[in-house]
Amino acid sequence: MFMSGFAISKGLCGVLFLGYLLVLISPWTLNYLALVPAKTFPFVWNIITAGYIEQSISELISSILGLLLCGKFLEPMWTSREFLKFIIFVNTTTLLGVYLTAVAIFHMTKAETLLYVPLSGFHGVLAGFLVAMKQIAPDQDIEVFGCFHLRSEWLPSFFIFMSIFISIITLEPMQHLSFVLYGTYWGWVYLRYIQRLPESNIPGTPGGDQFEFSAFFPRFIRERACAPEETLHKSRNDGASEDHASSIV
């Protein structure tokens, strides 16, 4: 039975710390625990483990702080079981997306070195947490860096903007931006179409117009941004129609 409070959050903080410590003491383990696209087969476990490996102390601190802050709010509300399911789903789909993106870029550019860069970090899941904050309390004001306030509904967009900025400075878009983009998207997919909360047995929690996929984008490109959501709506409705027809038969 899962513990009350936010025990999962605290436990994962320990996992992140131990992962960082392991790589610090034994750097060779990074090639087996981080996502190295050229080595994902046969080391398929790195699709899961890479999300819990931080390669720098700054990333470790930011991930632990983000996990504690979001976990303290989300885990008691969702239950620890649902919170853990969300993390596993977002982490796995994010890393799978990053892997496929790296392979696709390699085939387009023939840049073989891209396949041997160890990619890892919890920031994909953190991006998913911010999507949850946007859904649950969109009008809540959050103090950012102690300098200014930002409404929760803009937290995912702000995180993406910061990731773009960091990717430009570090010249490592695969390590930063790809994780955040996939984490944001798959966090939204889970909350919108999959999550089952204790008070409802209906999959998905729409969250109103402000939680449409297009709401993550500036107004001038929202119409084009509707395409992914329309595709998911169509597939979901088709599946519901088939289930209904089979139940009648």
Tens of pLDDT, residues 197-213: 766 666 666 555 556 76
Tokens coding 198? 């204790």
> What are the DSSP E strand ranges found in 81-238?
141-144, 148-151
User: By C-alpha distance, which of 165, 197, 198, 163 is closest to 183?
Assistant: 163
User: Is the pLDDT score of 23 beyond 50?
Assistant: yes
| C-alpha atoms less than 13 angstroms from C-alpha of 166 in its C-beta half-sphere | 16
Q: Please, which pLDDT band fits residue 82 given cuts at 50, 70 and 90?
A: very high
* Residue 216: predicted pLDDT: 65
The least confident of 65-79, 184-198, 229-243 is 229-243
User: By C-alpha distance, which of 175, 209, 210, 203 is closest to 189?
Assistant: 203
The least confident of 13-27, 113-127, 192-206 is 192-206
Angstrom distances, CA of residue 88 to CA of 12, 82, 145: 12, 10, 28
Q: pLDDT averaged over the chain? A: 84
Rounded Cα distance, 64 and 10, in Å: 9
216-243 average pLDDT score? 56
* Residue 8: predicted pLDDT: 94
User: By C-alpha distance, which of 29, 34, 37, 175 is closest to 116?
Assistant: 37
User: Is the pLDDT score of 245 beyond 60?
Assistant: no
User: Is the pLDDT score of 193 beyond 90?
Assistant: no
Sequence-separated (6 or more) residues with CB below 8 Å from residue 81 = 2
* Residue 196: predicted pLDDT: 80
More confident residue, 223 or 107: 107
Helix (H) or strand (E) holding 186, with range, is: helix 177-189
Fold of 7-216: Rhomboid-like fold (1.20.1540)
* Residue 201: predicted pLDDT: 66
* Residue 233: predicted pLDDT: 55
Amino acid at 30: L
Reported residue count of the chain is: 249
Alpha helix positions (H), 79-149: 80-109, 123-136
* Residue 170: predicted pLDDT: 86
* Residue 3: predicted pLDDT: 46
The alpha carbon of 35 is separated from its chain's Cα centroid by a whole number of angstroms, namely 15
Sequence-separated (6 or more) residues with CB below 8 Å from residue 198 = 79, 82
User: By C-alpha distance, which of 74, 209, 91 is closest to 153?
Assistant: 209
Q: Please, which pLDDT band fits residue 152 given cuts at 50, 70 and 90?
A: confident
User: Is the pLDDT score of 105 beyond 70?
Assistant: yes
